[in-house]
Amino acid sequence: MKDTHETSSESRSSAPAQTGRKTGGRLSLWTISLVSAIAVVAVTVVGVSASGLVRVSDTAGADGSQRIAQQVSQTLLTSYCPSQVGLADQESYGDSEFSVSQGDLSSSARFASIGSVYSSTLSPIAGKQVATLASGEDSLALGGQKAQQASILSSTLLSADAGTGSTGTVASWASDGDVQGLAATPCSSSHLTSSFLVPQTTTGMTDTLVVANTSDKPTSVKVSLWGTTSSQRLAASTNTSLTVKAHAETSLDLSAAAPDQKGLFVTVSSQVVPVFSTVKVTSAEGLTPHGVDYVPAASSIAASAARGKSAVLTGVEKGQKVALRVFSTRAQSLTVSWMGSDGTKQKTTADIEAHKVAVLDLGSVPAKTSAIKVESSDETAKLYASATAIRGSDKQDFSVVTAQPTVSHSAITLPDEVDGTAVLANAGASDAQVSLEGFDDSGKLVATTKKTVSAGHAISVKMADMGKARTLAMTSPNAAEVSFAATLTSKALDTAHVEQAATIGATSLMPQTTEVDATRSLLASVE
């Protein structure tokens, strides 16, 4: 497969493993140090996050030592693609007119691999392979998939380079029944600890946490909750300690565990192996459906030399009513503003408490606006932000937009029967140059373009303007400044005149790396 990106960095290859040898019935300390370091690499690389570099040290015999540092990159990638958003309880009770129904619920999923990828396969959580991404002229691609069940996207890389990786998107929609609207989410990576900012758990809202374990070992998962009523951790009404079997999923009803909250901050911590997590949300008022969506995991807002402590929530649209939820580890002041083609405007300030979810009503999204900028006054605090953007009045749909880390290489892909508009927002102090490459459903490169995103501005690019592109890859040298997402629409819901709203964040195409230190002791040669 042709590599469509020039790499901006190179990973050093790992030092070859050395086998210990007995001499007079004893192992040399030098061999023990190397074996220990390699064992640390094997365990650590599995759970490395794409957002940063982790350093691991082997300090055996450190006195008078010689240090060896080695950077290791992950070349086996695994992503979790959840099943369609539906009803947890589909049993019928009483008269049919009062029974819940999934109506004409449909789903679609698409997957793509870009750059130096050897192969990518799709399988259920149980592990049996069901499909292989086809090798196109310029990328690997697979569409036409349904999402009645969750799936796992596994990719083997030829090399861990910037611009190389895999992305997938799951979308589900219904024009009647109790899950009307459009829901979409990108496939996600595994973590030992994940955080979520979830919409309200009041009457009519169903927030369901889904945890998946693709390893060969069962794991215990602890779920911790903070809400809007107190700065203390909430005492859950249900058991929040979960056991997830090997190659299986389990779920937790967050609405039952912490009811009557206007927002919920959730942490999911696995005790044994990294797990995949997502939250599915359905909303209704009586018999009137009010929308569906997924809530992706949220990352804490990091400081940037160019833009300070701020983040952008990309993918809101004109006329949507927005509620912003924030959670901070320290009390502080926030400045919130709209971003769009006219720049940054209409700033709002708010004081928030530590360890308590704050909900800010931002009103309707102005014209020519597609993003929200959140600026923090505390460089040391961990700050999380997400927004619920509601479209419609009587019958509604909503999207959950989450602040995510920005990287220099990322991609999005659109499932069949779904259209989209890419949104690029620049929170930096200088203009950013962005390159976009569009790939069609067969993996062929069909369009390339360059855009300038002015400082403090957000621009939109319709996928229809990128030929017949279904996958869009973004490259920007201003890695810490440009946020990349897409707003989606369903053709079926357009035809049925049903309200719809959905936003997906881009998937990182940056190497997942860790650095290991091995230390040789002066005692290593002593028998």
Contact by Cβ (8 Å): 79, 189: yes
- In angstroms, the first-to-last Cα distance of the chain is 52
pLDDT tier for residue 35 given thresholds of 50, 70 and 90: very low
Q: Quote the Cα angle for 79-124-239, to 5°.
A: 80
**How confident is the model at residue 436, as a pLDDT?**
97
Distance separating alpha carbons of residues 29 and 60, to the nearest angstrom: 8
pLDDT tier for residue 428 given thresholds of 50, 70 and 90: confident
pLDDT for 436-466, tens place per residue?
A: 999 999 999 999 999 999 999 999 999 999 9
Backbone CA torsion sign across 116, 118, 121, 125: negative
Of 122, 116, 64, which Cα lies nearest the Cα of 521? Answer: 64
Q: Quote the Cα angle for 89-94-95, to 5°.
A: 110
**How confident is the model at residue 483, as a pLDDT?**
93
Tell me the pairing of strands 482-490 and 418-426.
antiparallel
Of 346, 336, 499, which Cα lies nearest the Cα of 403? Answer: 336
pTM of the model: 0.83
Residue for token pair 């799951």: 170
- On average, the pLDDT of the chain sits at 84
What does the block give as tokens for 469? 């592109």
Contact by Cβ (8 Å): 504, 186: yes
Query: In 229-367, where do the E strands start and end?
Result: 241-244, 248-253, 264-270, 276-285, 288-295, 303-304, 308-314, 321-328, 332-340, 343-352, 358-364
pLDDT for 332-378, tens place per residue?
A: 999 999 999 999 998 899 999 999 999 999 999 999 999 999 999 98
Q: Quote the Cα angle for 474-186-324, to 5°.
A: 90
Contact by Cβ (8 Å): 420, 347: no
Which residues have a Cβ under 8 Å from the Cβ of 110 and sit 6 or more positions away?
141, 142, 143, 145, 168, 169, 413, 414, 415, 416, 441, 470, 471
Of 24-33, 123-132, 508-517, where does mean pLDDT reach its minimum?
24-33
Cα Rg of the chain, angstroms: 24
In this prediction, residues 60-68 reach a mean pLDDT of 54
Strand, coil or helix: what is 214? coil
In this prediction, residues 46-64 reach a mean pLDDT of 44
Distance separating alpha carbons of residues 281 and 344, to the nearest angstrom: 31
Contact by Cβ (8 Å): 427, 456: yes
**How confident is the model at residue 78, as a pLDDT?**
95
Distance separating alpha carbons of residues 61 and 63, to the nearest angstrom: 6
Phi, psi angle pair for 214, to nearest 5° = -100, 5
Distance separating alpha carbons of residues 330 and 392, to the nearest angstrom: 35
Of 385, 388, 389, 390, which Cα lies nearest the Cα of 374? Answer: 385
**How confident is the model at residue 71, as a pLDDT?**
61
For the CA atoms of 234, 237, 241, 244, the dihedral, rounded to the nearest 10 degrees, stands at: -130
The DSSP call for residue 368 is: T
Q: Quote the Cα angle for 23-28-30, to 5°.
A: 150
Which residues have a Cβ under 8 Å from the Cβ of 97 and sit 6 or more positions away?
none
Distance separating alpha carbons of residues 369 and 337, to the nearest angstrom: 10
pLDDT tier for residue 379 given thresholds of 50, 70 and 90: confident
**How confident is the model at residue 286, as a pLDDT?**
82
Which of 55-64, 124-133, 297-306, 447-456 tops mean pLDDT? Answer: 447-456
Contact by Cβ (8 Å): 240, 304: no
For residue 277, give the H/E element and its range: strand 276-285
pLDDT for 264-294, tens place per residue?
A: 999 999 989 999 999 999 999 887 889 999 9
pLDDT for 177-223, tens place per residue?
A: 888 999 999 999 999 999 999 999 999 999 999 999 999 999 999 99
**How confident is the model at residue 39, as a pLDDT?**
40
Q: Is the pLDDT reported for residue 521 higher than 80?
A: no
